[in-house]
Amino acid sequence: MAPNDHYTIISADGHAGGNHVQYREYLDPEWRDEFDAWRGGYKNPFRDLQDDGRSRNWDSARRNADLDAEGVAAEVLFPNTVPPFFPTGVVIAPAPSVADFPKRLAGLRAHNRWLVDFVAESPERRAGLAQVALNEVDEAVADVKWAREQGLRGILLPGVSPDTPWIDPLFSAIYDPLWAICQELDMSITHHAGGSGIPNYGKHPSSLTMFVLESGFFANRAIWHLIMSGVFERFPGLKFVMTEQGTSWLPPAITKMDDIHTAQVRGRMGEIGMPESGALPHKPSDYFRRNCFLGASFPSPGEASHFHDLGLDKVMWGSDYPHNEACSPFSRESLRHTFNGWNEADLRQVLTETAVSVYGFDLAALQPLADRIGPTVAEIAVPLTEIPDHQSPAFQRA
């Protein structure tokens, strides 16, 4: 069988992290006594970090064996476990308070050090994203420089909740040094869905429902904060990725931004008036096409049917391993279910080439592995006749 008969599958959405014993060794020594006290009182609320599956986050051999079985050659790594001094996993954690910032930053840096070593165990298969906090921009800039020196491929950009006034919104020019260093060092900026930018809903019977209903909005708004505030005009080389946020919401959002821009250009904003910065020199849709990308996690056939409208060079498939809603352990079935009617060249763009462009994977280094484990073109072309009984949206949505 010829090597190009196999797809080189790159998941743009994987999660990993150390356990508390491991993280302790990566903490700066001055924090370890306080960490011991914190760990003694910490109670883990996450079922997937309590059962036998939790080691998938840090056990390289187990993880690679799982990915081999799934046909996944490489992945982008987001955090998953709970770093020192955090109440939850980082993707859904509220922003650090002013008082908590020093120790929370120490916890993030412990994770980043752990991640460097974890990536080094399978460097061709793993693109690690460093974590930064936005409380102090100078510290975030320093973390980006360090991460680049250590071989990490980008940063995880946290959201900014409207009820954290001590942290500036993403449309503030205070972050220009952060955008500048990411552009200079070719570090992608990825914003993952979750709770980091969501306000506190309190403890009401419907609080969790409100969280689920609105979490997408609070993740989605990062794109208009960056586009409409001129970030991509000032920093045209940035690569901004939105992951596990779906895609169907995006065309209407881009149209709305373009409509507002047109009204600004024509001077027809009514009583609101023009922004102090004036209208952007290009349409928001132009900045999207140049600077923005999508990590499309566990896409259903219906969602994938819209990828062409966004541009296939904007879209990257993701598994979401090892989460319960991930495609795994049915990634091959998921790919058949969603993409069986696709043109091979188009599918290679979504499964491989966009991720290579955004995150810098070495496709030649991955080829021997893909030839061994990757699904074949013929395999993915066969429609799925029986849908797995699995909670992944890839199978639950039309």
Q: What is the pLDDT of residues 4-36, one digit of tens each?
A: 799 999 999 999 999 999 999 999 999 999 999
Cβ atoms of residues 321 and 53 within 8 Å: no
pLDDT digit string (tens) for the chain, length 398 residues: 454 799 999 999 999 999 999 999 999 999 999 999 999 888 766 555 556 788 999 999 999 999 999 999 999 999 999 999 988 766 677 889 999 999 999 999 999 999 999 999 999 999 999 999 999 999 999 999 999 999 999 999 999 999 999 999 999 999 999 999 999 999 999 999 976 789 999 999 999 999 989 999 999 999 999 999 999 999 999 999 999 999 999 999 999 999 999 998 888 776 776 776 778 999 999 999 999 999 999 999 999 999 999 999 999 999 999 999 999 999 999 999 999 999 999 999 999 999 999 999 999 999 999 999 999 999 999 999 999 889 998 888 87
Residue-wise burial string across 19-52, b where 16 or more C-beta atoms lie within 10 A, e elsewhere:
ebebbbebbeeebeeebeebeeeeeeeeebbeee
The C-alpha R_g of the chain, in whole angstroms, comes to: 21
Give the burial class of 135: count Cβ atoms within 10 A of its Cβ; 0-12 exposed, 13-18 middle, 19 or more buried.
Answer: buried
Nearest to 115 by CA among 171, 58, 196: 58
- The helix/strand/coil state of 156 is strand
Residue-wise burial string across 337-356, b where 16 or more C-beta atoms lie within 10 A, e elsewhere:
bbbeebeeeebbbbbbbbbb
For the stretch 347-363, pLDDT in tens is 999 999 999 999 999 99
Structure tokens at 223: 């794109």
Nearest to 295 by CA among 120, 114, 156: 156
- List 131's β-bridge partners, or say none: 156
Give all strands of the β-sheet with 72-79 in edge-to-edge order: 9-16, 72-79, 126-131, 154-156, 188-192, 240-243, 292-297, 315-318
Residue with tokens 């997408």: 216
Nearest to 183 by CA among 75, 291, 336: 291
The pLDDT score that the predictor gives to residue 93 is 78
- List 78's β-bridge partners, or say none: 15
The pLDDT score that the predictor gives to residue 181 is 99
Spatial distance between the Cα atoms of 224 and 155, rounded to a whole number of angstroms: 19
**CA distances, 132 to each of 154, 172, 261, 281, 337 (Å):** 10, 17, 31, 31, 37
Angle between helices 207-228 and 284-291 (to 10 degrees): 100
CA dihedral over 337, 387, 296, 190, signed as positive or negative: negative
Cβ atoms of residues 193 and 216 within 8 Å: yes
Helix (H) or strand (E) holding 147: helix 137-149
Spatial distance between the Cα atoms of 274 and 285, rounded to a whole number of angstroms: 19
Structure tokens at 166: 């001590």
pTM of the model: 0.95
Give all domains of the chain, ordered by start, each with its CATH number: 3-396 (3.20.20.140)
Mean pLDDT score of the chain = 93
Cβ atoms of residues 95 and 164 within 8 Å: yes
